[in-house]
Structure formats: structure tokens, C-alpha cells
Structure 1
Amino acid sequence: MKEGMDGMEASIRKDLILTFGTAYTLIVYEICLSRFFSAIFENQAVFLAITLATLGIGIGGYLSSRSPGNFYKLRSEWIGGFSLVLVAVVLIMYRMPYSGIWYYSALAILPFLVGGMLISFVMQHRHQEVNLLYFSDLAGAGLGAVSAIPLMNLTSPIQTIFLLSASLFAMSLFTRTNKSFFRKKTVYYILLFSLLYNAILPITEQLPFRSYQTSPSNVFMAEKNTRIVFSDWNAFSKTDVYDAGDGQLLYITIDGGAMSPISKYSGDLKFVDYLRNTTSYLAFQLFSKERALIIGAGGGQEVLAAQLAGFQMIEAVDINSGSFNAVKELSAFSGDVFHQPNVRAIISDGRSYIRQSRHQYDVIYLSLVKKKSENGFGIALSENYLFTQEAITAYLAKLNPGGKLAFLLHNEKELAKVKKATENALLSQGIPSAQIQNHFAVIGTYLHLGHVVWGMGGTLITRPLVLIGSKPFETSDAQRLKEEAKRIQQIPIHVPYVQDSYRLLTNTLEEQQLSTISSRDDKPYFYQMTSGVPQVFVWLLLAILLMVLMIVRKTNYAKGRAVYFSGIAIGFILIETTLVQRLILTLGHPTYAFVLVLGVLLVSGGIGSFVTGKWRMGTNQRFGSLICTAIYALGVNLAITWWNDHLISFPILARLIVVGILLVPLGFFMGMPFPNGLCRIPPHVVAISWGINGLMTVAGSLLSVMISMTIGFAATLAIGGAIYGLLYWIQPQLGMQNPETG
């Protein structure tokens, strides 16, 4: 009898380990995938590709419900296969030429599919221990979210995938009970050694990244005579430096775009005197020359321009450490411009830095700050917070009297949004609308480094420099700006008093039907140039809903249960993803927000799931965790709104602790409804329930973006909480009380 009990305990321990390992791997794979896709896609394609791929978890749950029951007995072999599929998929994507979003999504879905099937096999077989398994699932995902970014920074995304695969393969070897396996163990150990070796010295270091090299998003794709002289691939970006052979410039690219030049510099400014003829140089002309802040330091040309203008102290901020590393590594060419005596390099989010800085500035300059794509965290579009109405208000408050805020933008579309946000910021400070045009100047770029760029890419206004003052321009400054612009063959589009074309500029932008929506911190989608949401998101959402309806109909799954498991999936992801966005400003960096929110919510959710096994309720009771989640989510929403400006003065460790303590109870309650629901349904529909929950989690991710684009993050978080409250109210009608029905 004791041996039987020991065998059962060993079996459940094995399943907990397999569930933990699979969940850990899936979340780290998803984060690595976002970094991989950010290097080859633009715009919403990163988010869309990952959304399509993660559908595999839900589809895997459905497929496992239709699979033979003896698959559960092969779960150790299954996880070994999972490890090999994982590394094979990534290597194929790495080596094949760019083939479009559907190709990558179809490949990327395979590990999610296999992993989803594995977890649902285990959950359906161990229906009575579902609270323990869900604890293991959430704990694995939470720890994966916390460790993914340090792993990628320590190694690289590809090495991280090899390390995951090796760990899973080792787990497969040491949990097998099939004795005949040991006759083949030599082959398996050779495979394990190969995976571990590639985690240290990956084969990809000797092979070109073909999908990156051939991607249409790579600005050097068509350049045949360029070569990469520096490369750094971490959790935040893929940073490369290209030598085009001209001898005077190198070019940094971030994820294949956002190109920034590095000037050849030996320490003598006369060798970079040509920078006096660039539009950027105009940004440093109109004021005293004590202190400048440059947000988006890039390759350091703006630092050199500020030095040429005579600034005594220059602070260069960039969220991407890769740019600073590149300039330092290539110091023989760059002169290590960021380590000059009067230059201070800061790795930080620009918006966070400006809120914490105690200095006042004569100029704050943002130059072509970002590529129009998601960063490594899918929908965490941190760069958008640099261009909101609140951001402009904060910048203006940090200017000395007579100082100027300057933006160098890509085109008239960005100009329209910055212009509107500036107008609203100045109006909020009590400046009459008739006076705003005197605070605002726009210079278009005609020539850049000897090349005509006006009209580049079909633009109406190319690379506009926007200068904004909290005080009106002085007439003498306006006259000098116009003269300097013409001297270097740039185009004064609007200069107060001396070339007052503000109304003409406004009319021109309106005639182009450009977006005049002012980006706000609550809705910071700066690169959303049209009203509404992307149509592809709507169609994908409808496709997922149709897929779930087909599963429900084909399996005769109870509709009330489908509503319940769909609701908690959507509510969970609306709250989780929106918290990541809302806490970026509070914590000062997207990495902190991502790691803290996912880590705390998932791990504390796992604890909540574990506790449900101790607090078994009667079959007719409502799930109190639903209403607790609803109330607490609304409270967190209000707390973030109030704390956002108050917490920023605290040290980062204190902010992390305060926010972590705030989120623990929320995660605890959010971890209960899913195992509570699984305990109230027949064992044979557990896998289908898991599949529906997985599919609707993806639908919730789409909804979180669509709702936040339309009505903002605060409303999205409130809707997520309201869904839990609604489920609590209608629970008696959903058939979730009696496990013997249906």
C-alpha cells in the first residue's frame, strides 16, 4: 500500500515538473520570439505574428481532447520532442530568407501547439489535482517572464532558445520510466551535449541571419557593398553598425531600421564642421549654451552638433544600451564621443529621465527617436510616451527661460500629431490659441550631408525640425533662425513674425487628412495615423471567435461553460497587458513593468490556485474570487492613476516594492477562477476548457489593444475588472455549480 502511495506521489511530482518546465519554456519562447520578429518586421506585424503563433496553445488543448488517452503515458517522450521542435523552428526561421508574416506565424505556432497539448494532456488526466497543476503552470510562466530578459541580455535570443531546449531534453531523459529507452541513451546524450554546446557557442555565430538580411524592413537590404562591423543582440534590440565604405560615416541600425550615423571623429571638432550645415544644428542655436539634453542619442552626431554650438554640458539619453556599446567599441573611429569630459551618457527611457532630472535645460532635443515597430514586448510601445501631450508639458517645464524643445521628425504625419499635442499642452497652460503660433517654428530638411532628401519616400514635408518654447520666440531669434535655415539650404516652413505660415501649415495638414488626434499618456499610440483600429485585428478577432464557436458546436460543449472560461481568459489578459502599459511611466522603464507585472501576477496567481485546493467550496456556491478580482482591479486602476506622479520621486527599488505589494493580492485572486471552474466540470471536457481558455486569451490580447486604442488604458483595465464582476453575477446561469451535468 505504501509503495502504491509512493508511486502516486512520484507521478504527481513528475507531472508538476513537466508542467512547470513547459509553461516556463513557452513564456520565454514567446518573449524571444518577439525579439526575433522585431528584427525583421515593422508596425503591427510583430504583435500580429506572435498573436497568430500563440493560438497554438488553445488549438493544442482542443487537439489533445481528440487524441488517444495513451498519449499521457508518453508525456516524457513528448517533452523531448517539444524541445527539438523548439530549436528546429527557430533555426529554420533564422536560416531561411524572409518569407512574410504568414510563413513565420505558421512555423512559430508549432512549439505552442506541442506545449499546449502537453499541458492539457496532464491536466485532463489529473483532474483532481488541477489546482496544483495550475499552480505549477502559473509559477513556471511567472518565473519565465522574470528570467527571460536577463537570459537574453546575458547570452542572446538564439542561445536562450538552445538553453531552453537542452533543459527540456534533460528533463525528458531523467523522467522516463521506459527501461528500453536506456539502450538508446548514447544517442540521446549526444543530442543533449549538442544542445548544451550550442547554448554556449551557437552554430548561428558561423551562419548568416538570412531572414534579417533579406527583410524589407532592413534599411541596408539592397546595399551590396556594406559590411557589419559591430553587432549586439539583447532583450531590447538588435543593434548593428554598417560600414558603407565612404570613410567618414558608419551607420547604426536598431532592428534593421532607425538608422543613426556615427561620424568619424578624432577629438578635433574642425573635422566634423560639416555638421553645422545640418537641420539638427539649428536646434542648438537660439539660446544660452549651458546645458543640453538629447533624447535618443543614437550614434552621437547630435552630441557633436551641440559641442560645435558651444554647449558646456550635454546629457545624452538612450533606452538602448546597444548604441552606447557600439560607439564605445568603435572608439578608434568614433572618438568615443559619449565619454567626452562634458558629455554624460545615460541608459534610460527619456520620459522617465526627464521626470526625475533635477536640472533645467537650454534645449531638449529628440531626433528621429524611434523605428515604427513594437519593441521586444509586443504591445509595450514605450517610445510612444515620448510624444504625448503630457510629455510635451513635462519637457517645457524643464526648460530655462528662453529655452527650446526640439523634435526632428520623419514626415508630415508625425508633424501633425506633434503639432496637435503641442497646441493642447500650451492651451492647458493658459496660453491663448491666437498666441500659440508664436511659440512654434518648423524647418524642413532639403539637404542632408550633401544629399537632397526633400520629398524622400513621397513625403510632403521631409524631416521637419520643430522648435517649441514655453515663452514666445523673440523677434531677433526668429529672424536669426530663418537666416540660418536659408544659409544651409533648408526650408523655413513656419517661423513666427518673419515667415508666419502657421495657418497655411494647419490647412495643408488638414487637406492631407492627417490624424490630428493628440496622443495622451492614457492612449499613447503615436504611430497610429488613422482613427479606429487596424482592420487585420478585427478580422483576426472574428476568426478566433468563430473557431471557438465551431469547437463548442462540434464537441457539444456547454455554452455556459464556454462563456465562463472565455470570460476569465479575456478579463485576465485585459488586466495583465494593460497593467504593463500603465506601469511603464510609474516604474520608469518597459523592462521593469513587464517583468514585475507578469512575474508577480503569475506567481501570486499560482499561489491562489494552490490555495483553492485547501478551500474547497460546495457545488452551489459562487466563486468569491471573481468579485474580489473585480473590486481589487478597479482599486489598482485608481491607485496607479493617483500614484503615477507621486511615486516617480522614490528610488527605483522602493517603486518596485510598492507596486509589487499592490499587485500580489490581485494576482492571488486572479489565479483562483480557472481551477475553481475546472473542478466543477466533468473530467472529459477539461482539455477542451483549457483550449477555449487559451484561444480566448489571444482574443483578449487583441481586445486589449483595440480598446486601448479607442478609449484608453484606464478604461481597458476597468473593463477587465468588470468582466470578472459580470461573471460573478451571472455565474448561476452558466452551469458552473454541478460537476455532474453536461
Structure 2
Amino acid sequence: MYRLQPRAVVKDMTVVFFSSLAMIIFEIFLSRFFSVILDYNYVFLIISLATLGIGVGGYLAYKWNERFIEMSTSILGTFAVSMMLVVLTMYALPYQGIVFYALCAILPFILGGLILAGTMQSSKEQVHILYFVDLVAAGLGATGAIFLMNAINPIQTIGLITFVLIFVYLVVSYRKTGRWSKFVYSFVLMGLALNMVYPFLDFIEFKAYRTSPFTVFSKRPDAKIVYTHWDAFSRTDVYDTKDELLYMTIDGSAMSPISKYSKELKEVDYLLTTTGALSFQHGPKKSALIIGAGGGQEVLTAQMSGFEEIDAVDINKGSFDAVHALAGLSGDIFHQNGVKEIISDGRSYIKKTTKKYDLIYLSLVKKQSENGLGLALTENFIYTHEALKDYMNRLNSDGRLAFLLHDDTELNKMMYAAKKYYQGQGMDEKSIKNYIAVVGTYQHLGHVLVGMKGPIINRPLLILQKQPMDKEMAQLLMDSTLHIQQIPIHIPHINDQYGTLQALFNTQHVNVNSNRDDRPFFYNKTNQFPMGLVVAIMIPILVAMFLLRRRVLSSGQAVYFSGIAIGFMLIEVTFIQKLSLPLGHPTRSFVTVLGVLLVAGGIGSYCSKQGKTIYGRYSPLVIIGFLALLANTLVGLFDHSLEIPETHRMFIIVVLLFPLGFFMGMPFPHGLAHLQHEQVAMSWGINGVMTVVGSLLAAALSLTFGFTVTLWIGASIYILLFIFQPTVKSV
């Protein structure tokens, strides 16, 4: 028997708390670090696969069952140091490739998984308490990581958490630690403390960033960084290449130019030759809303075109901060008279504002990535059918909505959404074409682009009118288009090519339904299940099969722990994506959903022994299924309730999710309590591996079928486990 003294229980709780806290912070850090040096395709996959280390750690805890108790304290110290060493290595070395970063990232997860699984196996009688501590720590860590990375920066955050973990290691193992080890770790502690005051990395070049092929200026060593800021949301850099522009990059790739400007508009009149400038030149010019303000060039265009009030919206605070910090070069355009900067997601702002505009303009709000899986997986509520309707409702009676897009496939999707909107207003096909104008880009700031070549329309400008365009307005647009050497694709009355465009779109295999609020994946241009995710899902499944080859767990037990892991992630990931709209920001959604579900789940774990059975079935399983569906239904009401203050919305969502999280924390410790001692670590490992499957599967299902279907599948898994639980032997 493994009877523990109260002091030993407190020690185990301390180790589990800080190990879990460190792992979730490290995972969130990796998402920020890799976003800077890798394409999002690889960020998503590497982090998902790296967390397989948790499952591998569980397997090692099973293999080293008896030896773990002797090794546990030294593993904690190694885990602490491994995080900082991994970060320093990836930071200081030139770009090394995907495999190298995956191998680096997985090491701390293996050690962390080994600590958590081994501790729970050696303290099986207290597993409901330890799992409570584990989940609460993860919930606090998710919230704390965002706060710390905003307060200091991502690298310093890892330095701080390493300092805390080493300190905990020395406290809990002081009597067992040798003199030499104490000296080494104390020296490391002093170094980390000094690092918080005088960051060492200020003196070390971020070579992985400057040499990564995924960053815009990797092949321009002459480009000088004149501003940089790195927080939980993005890394914002501004480069000076000694020409008339500065170049602001977000996470090294999404680029937005900043015009060098000393408050004389004649200095930047070249902006009036761009395709996007056509949206500002004709029609009423009192108020304009620019979504995706970036470096502020559209603000200058609006000023030169005569707009009196200009509201500039950008979700990235760093964009505004960069322009302010470089006021001597940028003219501090966002602080000029008549200009108002708004830090918000464009869709959230348009839902809560009561102001109406003569023009709403969105310009290349997201970078294009050649149908990259990562970009396709990015939920984007600003281009959905429902968003278009919201924009049109915020226009004055003779206002216009304009999108500058990347290519004809995006044009296809937005014109389809526009057609659905106009049809909803009672218009027929023949009338709709008079509300729409399309201009292609031939040249941009003197650089000739592809223009229209076969089925390709480069950087199309789509203008949607609140009222039909008359012949006079159409002629003005036609003349302006030809004057600046752009391509008139469809201009009502003058160059009517609406039918030709529709014929072109009919030849494309574009998923025109993948930009709705329930499936807001605008850059997903296919109707196919993402094969990249299928391959990624197979990797953890193969790992799970390897772990189960010795049949330490029965098939029923394997199904049970796999099912609750997949179901948990399907529900959690989908709510994080779905709630980014009502909560106004993806980061706010991440912190709220993860924090509430994990903390509530920890409390549920503590109470798991109180869970009732119904005809031999564990009742929390079926309760989880129905609460998930109820929460999804009630969350849907927020589409009509964004006028509620954000703090109230957040409170309501916390109230909705807390009962769900409470019951979701019960099944895992309940299952562990019915296992043999030597099965605990293996079940932890299987659960950890299948958590990765769940997160990847959530992404694939949401992309293909939408949020509602994904949540139904997650809820159904819990309900099926409840129904068939009698076949799950020993649980």
C-alpha cells in the first residue's frame, strides 16, 4: 500500500502545481515563439506534436515505476533548466528547420509529463486532489502567461518561470540535494534574477528570426530594425530600408508599409495611384471606417480624398504603438485631427458601435499564404456572410463597403456573400450587378503586377453600394481607374462584366460556404477534409498504439481514457474559437475558456468521489454532454447581444462554462481511482496522447463541418461513454 503522510501530500501537491503551471506557460510561449520564425502551418503542427511528450512522459513513469520516487526531485530540477536551455538554443542559433525545433520543444514536455504521471501513480489514493491541483494550476497558468508576456515579454516570461521552478525544486528537495547541486542551482538562480533586471538576450541577436525563410526580411541583412515590441499577441517590428517607406511586420511576415511623412500630404500623394484609393474618391465623404489600419496609409488616403472623420481599427495594439514611437518619420498619423484609433477586432467593433459611415474599408486584413493549412485554420469573423450584413447595416443610406482582396478566389467568396445579402434585401440577379463594382490591380506604387491573366485577378477591389450605382458615378469610377492605370473588371453601365465574372467563378472549385460565423474560415478555399491534419492525427494514434502494445490497460480502459481526452478537447477548442467574436479578441477568448474550464474542472476533480451512478453508469458523463449542447445554444444568443458591455458578456460566459468545466473535471480521476496502481501512469500517458488527437480533430472538424457539428460530436462522445460504460472493464 502507498499510504502518504500529510507532509508528503503537500509536497506532491506543490510539485504538481508548479510543474503544471510551467508546462502550460511553456506551451503558450511556444505558440508565440514559433509564430515569429515559422509559418503558421508548422506552428500548429509542431506544438500539437510536441505535447505528445506528455504522453511519452507517462509511459516513462510506468516503465520507471519504483525508481521514480528516488528520481522525482532531480527530474524537477532538470525540467526547470530544460525549458530555459531549449529557449536559448532555439533563440541564438540560426534557423535550423522544422525537425530541430520539434525535437527541442518536446523535451520539456517529456520531463513534465514524467513528473505529473509519476507523482499521481505514486500517490494514487490522492489522485482526485492532485488532478484538482493540476487543472487549477493549468488554468491559472493560461491566464498568467498572457499577463506576463504582456508585462515583460515572452522570453523573459520563461526566465521567470524557470526561476520559480528551480526555487521550488530547492525547497522541496533541500535535504536530498547534494552540496554541489545546491551550489549549481543557486548560481543559476542568481543568474536568472539578474536576467530579470538586465535581460541577457538584449545582448544576443535573435538569429533564428533574422535567418528564418518565413520572415520577410530574412534575405535583407541591410534592413535595419528601428522599432520592436513583443507581447502575448504579436511581435511587431519596423524596418528601415532607406527608401520612402518604413515596413512594419507582424510576426515577421504580415507586412504593412508606413509612409515617411512630415504632415505635408503632398509628400504621400503617390498613395492616390493605388487600387484601394478608388474606394475613397467618389461618393459622400464625411466619415470613414478603416478596418486593419496597419501602418496608416489608408488614413492618409482618406485625408487626401477629403474625409472629415476617420476611425482606424486594428486588433494589434503594436501597430499603433509603432507608428507613435516613430512619430518623427511617420508623422504620427493616428494622432492627427479627425483621426481616431480603435484597438479592437473589426467585427466586434462594428457589432457594438452605433455610428454610421459613408465608407467602410477593409484592405488585405490577413496575409495570404497560398492556401496554407495554418492560414486556412485561422478563424476570421470579418469576412463572413453575417459580417457583410453587419457592415452594410452600419452604412449611411448612400454609403459603400469596399474590400481589397488578394485574388479572384477570395473575390469569388465575397461576391457570393454579397449576392446572398442583396437577395435577402429582395433584389434579383439583374439588379444586383448595379450595386457592385470590381477593379483589378495592374500596378502598385509604380511596380507592375500580373493584373488579369486568364482566371487570375490580382488584388481585386470589390465595392458594394448601399444604393445602385448610377451612370454618372460609374463613369467617374471608370475614368479614375484608367487614369491610375488599373484594370476595370466590372463597372455597372460602363463595363458590365458581371456575367463574365460569374462564368469564371463557376469554373473554380472554391468553398463559398466556409465563411459563415459557424464556420469562419475564409482562407479555406477547398471542400476537402484537410489531409495535412489527417497525417498529423495519425502520428499520435500510432504513438498510442505503441504505448498500448503490452496491454497494460484493457481495451475498455483505453477507450474510456481516450474518449474523455478527445471529447474534452473537441469542446474546449471549439468554444475558444467560437467565443472570440462575442468576447472581442482571440486572446481574451483563449484565457476565459481555458481558465474557466480548467479551474472549474479542478474543483470537479476534487469532488469526483461524490459523482453518482445511474444503473452502474457514471452520471457526470451524460451531464457533460447535455451541458455542452446547452452552453452552445445559449452562447449563440450573443450574436444578437453584443451591445451588452464586455465585462457583463464575460461574466455571463463564465457562468455558462463553469458548470460544464466542473463536470468535465470528474471522469478522469474517477477512472484513475478504479485502476491498479501500476496502470495509473499508462492511463495518464494515453490520455495525454489522445488530447493531441482531440485538438487536431477539433481543428479538422470545425474547418470541414463548422463549430456546431464539432461540439455535437464532442458532446456525443461523453454521452456514448455513459451509455456503453458497463463494457469499460475495471472502470
Once the two structures are superposed, the pairs formed by residues 191-210 of structure 1 within 5 Å of their partners are 191-210=188-207
What secondary structure, in the 3-state scheme, does the structure 2 residue paired with 1:151 have?
Answer: helix
Aligned twin of 2:487: 491
Query: Aligned pairs, how many?
Result: 727
Aligned twin of 1:740: none
Aligned twin of 1:404: 400
What secondary structure, in the 3-state scheme, does the structure 2 residue paired with 1:587 have?
Answer: coil
Aligned twin of 1:701: 695
Deviates most, 631-640 or 324-333:
631-640
Once the two structures are superposed, the pairs formed by residues 175-214 of structure 1 within 5 Å of their partners are 175-179=172-176, 181-182=178-179, 184-214=181-211
Structure 1 residue 177, shift from structure 2 partner: 4.4
Give the letter for the 2:706 counterpart: G
Give the letter for the 1:609 counterpart: S
Give the letter for the 2:708 counterpart: A
Aligned twin of 2:30: 33
- 1:269 lines up with 2:256 in the alignment: no
- 1:551 lines up with 2:551 in the alignment: no
Mapped to 2, the partners of 1:640 and 1:426 lie a distance apart of 28
Aligned twin of 2:53: 56
Aligned twin of 1:319: 315
Mapped to 2, the partners of 1:380 and 1:532 lie a distance apart of 12
Mapped to 2, the partners of 1:200 and 1:421 lie a distance apart of 53
Deviates most, 314-323 or 636-645:
636-645
Mapped to 1, the partners of 2:730 and 2:69 lie a distance apart of 27
Give the letter for the 1:607 counterpart: I
Structure 1 residue 342, shift from structure 2 partner: 0.4
- When the two chains are superposed, the root-mean-square deviation of aligned CA atoms in Å is 2.1
Mapped to 1, the partners of 2:699 and 2:190 lie a distance apart of 42
Aligned twin of 2:218: 221
Per-residue CA deviations over 1:180-233 (Å, capped at 9, x if unaligned) read 524542322111111222244332222222222122221112223211100011
Mapped to 2, the partners of 1:55 and 1:456 lie a distance apart of 46
Aligned twin of 1:285: 281
Deviates most, 421-430 or 320-329:
421-430
Mapped to 2, the partners of 1:141 and 1:117 lie a distance apart of 16
- Distance verdict in 2 for CA 1:43–1:186, change over 3 Å: closer
Mapped to 1, the partners of 2:450 and 2:180 lie a distance apart of 71
- 1:12 lines up with 2:9 in the alignment: yes
Deviates most, 309-318 or 458-467:
458-467
- Distance verdict in 2 for CA 1:421–1:40, change over 3 Å: farther
Structure 1 residue 320, shift from structure 2 partner: 0.3
Q: Does the 8 Å CA contact 1:160/1:199 hold for their aligned counterparts?
A: no
- Distance verdict in 2 for CA 1:184–1:734, change over 3 Å: closer
Identity of aligned residues (%): 48
Structure 1 residue 434, shift from structure 2 partner: 2.8
What secondary structure, in the 3-state scheme, does the structure 2 residue paired with 1:584 have?
Answer: coil
- 1:241 lines up with 2:238 in the alignment: yes
Q: Does the 8 Å CA contact 1:158/1:202 hold for their aligned counterparts?
A: no
Give the letter for the 1:236 counterpart: F
Q: Does the 8 Å CA contact 2:482/2:488 hold for their aligned counterparts?
A: yes
Mapped to 1, the partners of 2:714 and 2:376 lie a distance apart of 18
Q: Does the 8 Å CA contact 1:159/1:200 hold for their aligned counterparts?
A: no
Aligned twin of 1:154: 151
Once the two structures are superposed, the pairs formed by residues 610-649 of structure 1 within 5 Å of their partners are 610-613=606-609, 615=610, 621-646=616-641, 648-649=642-643
Give the letter for the 1:154 counterpart: A
Structure 1 residue 517, shift from structure 2 partner: 3.5
What secondary structure, in the 3-state scheme, does the structure 1 residue paired with 2:535 have?
Answer: helix
Mapped to 1, the partners of 2:730 and 2:523 lie a distance apart of 43
Q: Does the 8 Å CA contact 1:135/1:609 hold for their aligned counterparts?
A: yes
Mapped to 2, the partners of 1:41 and 1:474 lie a distance apart of 48
Q: Does the 8 Å CA contact 2:564/2:718 hold for their aligned counterparts?
A: yes
Give the letter for the 2:640 counterpart: D
Structure 1 residue 551, shift from structure 2 partner: 2.0
Once the two structures are superposed, the pairs formed by residues 526-545 of structure 1 within 5 Å of their partners are 526-545=522-541
Structure 1 residue 345, shift from structure 2 partner: 0.3
Q: Does the 8 Å CA contact 2:474/2:493 hold for their aligned counterparts?
A: yes
Mapped to 2, the partners of 1:716 and 1:190 lie a distance apart of 50
Mapped to 2, the partners of 1:236 and 1:35 lie a distance apart of 8
Per-residue CA deviations over 1:92-123 (Å, capped at 9, x if unaligned) read 11122223322211211111111011100001
Structure 1 residue 383, shift from structure 2 partner: 5.9
Q: Does the 8 Å CA contact 2:481/2:488 hold for their aligned counterparts?
A: yes
- 1:655 lines up with 2:645 in the alignment: no
Once the two structures are superposed, the pairs formed by residues 42-53 of structure 1 within 5 Å of their partners are 42-53=39-50
Structure 1 residue 136, shift from structure 2 partner: 0.5
- 1:448 lines up with 2:471 in the alignment: no
Once the two structures are superposed, the pairs formed by residues 68-467 of structure 1 within 5 Å of their partners are 68-179=65-176, 181-182=178-179, 184-246=181-243, 248-372=244-368, 384-454=380-450, 460-467=456-463
What secondary structure, in the 3-state scheme, does the structure 1 residue paired with 2:472 have?
Answer: helix
Mapped to 2, the partners of 1:336 and 1:383 lie a distance apart of 31
Give the letter for the 1:441 counterpart: A
Q: Does the 8 Å CA contact 1:263/1:272 hold for their aligned counterparts?
A: yes
Structure 1 residue 493, shift from structure 2 partner: 1.0
Give the letter for the 2:438 counterpart: V
Structure 1 residue 470, shift from structure 2 partner: 2.9
Give the letter for the 1:703 counterpart: L
What secondary structure, in the 3-state scheme, does the structure 2 residue paired with 1:735 have?
Answer: coil
- Distance verdict in 2 for CA 1:249–1:37, change over 3 Å: same
Structure 1 residue 715, shift from structure 2 partner: 1.3
Give the letter for the 2:141 counterpart: G
Provide the TM-score with structure 1 as the length reference: 0.95
Mapped to 2, the partners of 1:459 and 1:26 lie a distance apart of 48
Mapped to 2, the partners of 1:474 and 1:682 lie a distance apart of 79
Mapped to 1, the partners of 2:452 and 2:433 lie a distance apart of 27
Mapped to 2, the partners of 1:619 and 1:659 lie a distance apart of 30
Structure 1 residue 373, shift from structure 2 partner: 7.5
What secondary structure, in the 3-state scheme, does the structure 2 residue paired with 1:586 have?
Answer: coil
Deviates most, 203-212 or 114-123:
203-212
Structure 1 residue 617, shift from structure 2 partner: 6.3
Structure 1 residue 675, shift from structure 2 partner: 0.3
- Distance verdict in 2 for CA 1:458–1:51, change over 3 Å: farther
Mapped to 2, the partners of 1:453 and 1:555 lie a distance apart of 61
Give the letter for the 1:645 counterpart: H
Per-residue CA deviations over 1:328-351 (Å, capped at 9, x if unaligned) read 000001110000110000110000
Structure 1 residue 567, shift from structure 2 partner: 0.5
- Distance verdict in 2 for CA 1:180–1:47, change over 3 Å: closer
Mapped to 2, the partners of 1:379 and 1:26 lie a distance apart of 26
Mapped to 2, the partners of 1:507 and 1:244 lie a distance apart of 43
Mapped to 2, the partners of 1:184 and 1:684 lie a distance apart of 31
Q: Does the 8 Å CA contact 2:611/2:619 hold for their aligned counterparts?
A: no
Structure 1 residue 487, shift from structure 2 partner: 0.3
- 1:716 lines up with 2:710 in the alignment: yes
Aligned twin of 1:607: 603
Q: Does the 8 Å CA contact 2:376/2:524 hold for their aligned counterparts?
A: no
Mapped to 1, the partners of 2:475 and 2:41 lie a distance apart of 43
Mapped to 2, the partners of 1:217 and 1:421 lie a distance apart of 32
Picking from 472, 475, 494, the partner of 1:476 is 472
Mapped to 2, the partners of 1:599 and 1:670 lie a distance apart of 13
Structure 1 residue 83, shift from structure 2 partner: 0.9
Per-residue CA deviations over 1:339-381 (Å, capped at 9, x if unaligned) read 011000011000000001111111101111112579xxx9996
Give the letter for the 2:633 counterpart: L
Q: Does the 8 Å CA contact 1:382/1:584 hold for their aligned counterparts?
A: no
Q: Does the 8 Å CA contact 1:57/1:695 hold for their aligned counterparts?
A: yes
Give the letter for the 1:416 counterpart: N
Structure 1 residue 256, shift from structure 2 partner: 1.3
Per-residue CA deviations over 1:432-465 (Å, capped at 9, x if unaligned) read 2332222211111112112212359999222111
Per-residue CA deviations over 1:449-491 (Å, capped at 9, x if unaligned) read 1221235999922211111123222221111111101001111
Give the letter for the 1:105 counterpart: A
Structure 2 unaligned spans of 5+: none
Structure 1 unaligned spans of 5+: 738-742
